[in-house]
Structure 1
Amino acid sequence: MTISPDILVFSDLDGTLIDHETYAWSAAKPALAALKKAGAGVVLSSSKTAAEMIVLRTEMGLNDWPAIVENGAGVLPSGAAALPEPVQYAQLRAVLDQLPEEFRQMFTGFGDMSIADLVEATGLDQDAAALAKERCFSEPGLWSGDEAQKGVFLKALEDQGITAQQGGRFLTLSFGSNKADQMRALAHKFNPKHTIALGDAPNDIQMLEAAEFPVVIKNPHRAPLAPLVNETRAIRTQLPGPQGWNVAILDLLNQIAPNPTT
């Protein structure tokens, strides 16, 4: 039997629920506890892999809920501790490696990086970087060419059914689904009365715009997101990362589920 929570929260991780610099999320613990007390569901939605998400979801006490992984390219079911088969990832890498070398060399994907390279690019420790390389559905990477070259690169990938999403740090390639697609499917499954989405980067916009209550988390490391189509309902936090997440969630709970912390 599927649980139908009154509130279902969809949250990005890096720069949103997790601090951009330290990767800590402890500042959001009061809000996470309040959500649990209110019977709300929390679906993590990130560019992170299933391997990374299994660890984080367990640490945050959110194993009862599915998680959207690899920018929406896949979903980790509730309670799952095993990784999906990486069939899509192998297919994606094969397409990349068939591109003309002049464009292929401008995209450095996680599959092109050693663990040490990824540590340097992300600030993750070695264990976390190893988990980030265990990909099943998508390929994030760094783009070194100009915008015109990027357009040609993306068109060549589009012809092969591959789409791109720009996140806070990386350009992520995948076949098809994004965070908003998975959010809609999970909202249909769980049928909550209210949906909340929180994010800070361009790849969160569609998810934010699909929510009843969109929360744009301040990220001082990047330009603010442009106004959303549902901007009149949007909350834009004054504090960054998990601090802003915590304040926004507690304020929303007081609005739509009074007295959740008492």
Structure 2
Amino acid sequence: MKTNYKSFLALFFLLLSQNVFAAGNQPDADLMSIATKMLTATFLLIAFVVWLALVYSEKNDFAGDFFLSPLRKFFQFLTKSTPIEKEQSILLSHDYDGIKELDNRIPPWFHALFWGAIIFGAIYLVKFHVIGSGNVQEEEYLEEIRIADAEQQILIKTGALLNEETVTVSNDASAIQEGKGIFVKNCVACHGQNAEGIVGPNLTDDYWIHGGGIKNVFKTIKYGVPQKGMISWQSQLNPNQMQAVSSYVLSIHGTNPPNAKAPEGVKYDEKADSTLSGANS
């Protein structure tokens, strides 16, 4: 009986094509793909066992002397062990209550591992502790700090870290202009074209109902004042835009526009507020 290699290959490709077809057409592709791969592996294993049986039966090699000889030679190369039939030649003379010992050689793989560890250790020592070109722990730490700083700068630019506690006044002309545009679009109905105050308070004088300064103005814009009819703008403006509007409002302080509304609230003292904030931090 001869081994039908073509049938074996045909079975392999048939199972492979069924695997691809099932994964692409079933609703639960992932689960079906795993199940199909398991079935494919099972069929391939069965086919391999059948093929081995055919090979053994053809050559009357039931002990595996022919088929397993390459594996045995490879194992012999790795271990340099003495075959069982020649063990008497390496049997030591002493006897421990019937227990005897063989004088086997140290396996080559152990030699390779031993000398490999020594060579690796020498290279590591020179690279990291003599030359210093390796990524030692201190350099790795500093690199992580640099990466964290870069990521923080990106977050700051996108406004992700900007809130009422971290916001600062922007003196950038483009940011002020952007803030003016947002103010004209959204705030003139209540505060007037020049922030002189209509329904809402005058924003150009020294008096503030909810506190002056960049942090208080930013907070008021962000959360709004619902009881006074001012909505929260945090869902419509991003942190950078709210900072721009706040900075614009502070930039027109003291302009004394015509028809300005009478002062409301408490006179804001920036120095006193800074001292109080420093004491509370």
Would the TM-score normalized by the shorter structure come out above 0.5?
A: no
Question: Under TM normalisation by the shorter chain, which class is it?
Answer: under 0.3
By percentage of residues, which structure has more strand? 1
Largest Rg, 1 or 2: 2
TM-score by length of 1: 0.20
Greater RCO between the two (CA within 8 Å, min separation 6)?
A: 1
By percentage of residues, which structure has more helix? 2
